[in-house]
């Protein structure tokens, strides 16, 4: 998957972006996120983030957080999963996304795309 496919998936709605400071995806990694809010709360109902390469446009990871149901999904490009896991160990980072909610690791790009689409339909 490349960044253009991801942007199309999230309907080009980007709320924020920044340099990705971990080293596991290389020197050109950048992160962007889409935030969705429900009508009755000032807090986001879900967040969808991507880390991608600014030179090649390759997507390294996709994270989909459903704050209402406390579910966190994470897909990491198989070629970079080892590097990511090693950096987690080096940094002593646990396997939680937020508030002790464990990541549900998704192995298939098609599955994470379906999860993202379903989250966007729920908003």
Tell me the Cα Rg of the chain.
14
Residues 40-60 pLDDT 10s: 666 788 999 999 999 999 999
pTM for this model (two decimals): 0.93
Which of 74, 60, 68, 62 shows the shortest CA–CA distance to 102? 74
Structural domain containing residue 12: 3-122
Is the separation of the CB atoms in 67 and 45 below 8 Å? yes
Residues 75-103 pLDDT 10s: 999 999 999 999 999 999 987 888 889 99
| Residue keyed to tokens 């896991």 | 85
User: How many structural domains compose the chain?
Assistant: 1
Mean pLDDT of 15-32: 97
């Amino acid at each position: 998957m490349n960044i253009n496919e991801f942007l199309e998936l999230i309907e080009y709605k980007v709320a924020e972006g920044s340099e990705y400071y971990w080293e596991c995806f290389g020197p050109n990694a950048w992160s962007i996120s889409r935030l969705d809010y429900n009508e009755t709360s000032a807090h986001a109902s879900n967040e969808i983030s991507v880390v991608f390469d600014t030179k090649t446009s390759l997507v390294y990871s996709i994270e989909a957080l459903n704050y209402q149901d406390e579910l966190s999904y994470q897909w990491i490009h198989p070629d970079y999963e080892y590097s990511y896991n090693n950096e987690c160990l080096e940094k002593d980072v646990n396997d939680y996304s937020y508030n002790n909610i464990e990541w549900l690791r998704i192995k298939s790009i098609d599955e994470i795309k379906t999860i993202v689409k379903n989250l966007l339909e729920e908003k």
